[in-house]
Structures are given as structure tokens and as C-alpha cells.
Structure 1
Amino acid sequence: MAEVKSMFREVFPKQGQLSVEDVNTMVLCKPKLLPLKSLTLEKLGEMQQTAQSTIHQQEMAEKEKQQVTH
């Protein structure tokens, strides 16, 4: 691995003890964006919309037939 030069240099004490504290810290990462609607929900919505439009067209056709016969 290539060594990365740091802005800080390590300083070791000439006398006494050297102690190291290992502290776990939280690391923030990019949020993962989830779709608001899944593909299945979108397909179901489209199917429902086409079914409703088909029913609406059939109702309009029936109304026209009733108006023509009367």
C-alpha cells in the first residue's frame, strides 16, 4: 500500500508510558434513496386506472345507446 503523508507527525514520549485509546466513532455515509412506489405498486395503479377508464367508456356507450333508443 502507498503511504499517505499526513499533516501531523507522530510524537512518542521519551519518558513514561505510551497509552493508546481506541474509540469507536460513527461514520456517516451517503443516504440510500428508496423509491416512493415500488414497480409492482406502479403497475397495479396503471392497471386500476385502465380498468376505470374502460368502465367509464362502457358506461358512456350505454348512455348513448339509451338516448338513441328513446
Structure 2
Amino acid sequence: MAEVKSMFRDILSKQLPVEDITTMVLRKPKLLPLKSLTLEKLKKMHQAVQETTHQQEMVEKEQQQITH
């Protein structure tokens, strides 16, 4: 068992030097969406409902003007 531990220590000590481990890698920043897809779908549904109610109100006003 002691032989196995010393073998692991030898392998670990022969790994990359400490200088190579601390190098920085620059990447593009990942941008997260401000709104989720579900929120976007809900917004579109809400706009569609508002448009249909607006159209129905316009039709009702036209019908009232015709009858008066």
C-alpha cells in the first residue's frame, strides 16, 4: 500500500510546473438573454389578445354608429 502511495506522489510531482497552471485564458463573454423564451411567448400572447380586443371594440363602435 505504501508503494502505491509513493508511486502516486512521484506521478503528481512530475506533472506540469506550477507556472503553466496559472496562465490565464481569455474568452468571449457569454451573454445571457434578459428575457426567457417563456416570457417572450407570454408577451406575444398578451399582445395578440390586446389586438383582438381592440379590433372587436372597433367593430362594435362601427355597428353602433350604423344603427344610430
TM-score bucket (shorter structure): 0.5 to 0.7
State the SS of the aligned residue for 1:33.
coil
Higher relative contact order (CA 8 A, sep 6+): 1
* Alignment equivalent of 1:64, drawn from 55, 62, 65: 62
The corresponding residue for 2:34 is: 36
TM-score, normalised to structure 1, is 0.58
Corresponding position of 1:9: none
Which amino acid in 1 is paired with 2:42?
A: L
| TM-score after normalising by structure 2 | 0.59
Instruction: Name the SS for the 1:54 alignment partner.
Output: helix
Percentage of identical aligned residues:
71
Higher helix share: 2
Report the Cα distance in structure 1 between the residues aligned to 2:57 and 2:50, rounded to whole angstroms: 11
Report Cα offsets for 1:28-69 as digits up to 9, x if no partner: 543211012110011001000000000000000000010000
Between the aligned partners of 1:25 and 1:47, the Cα distance in structure 2 is 49
Equivalent residues in 2 for 1:1-70, closer than 5 Å = 29-70=27-68
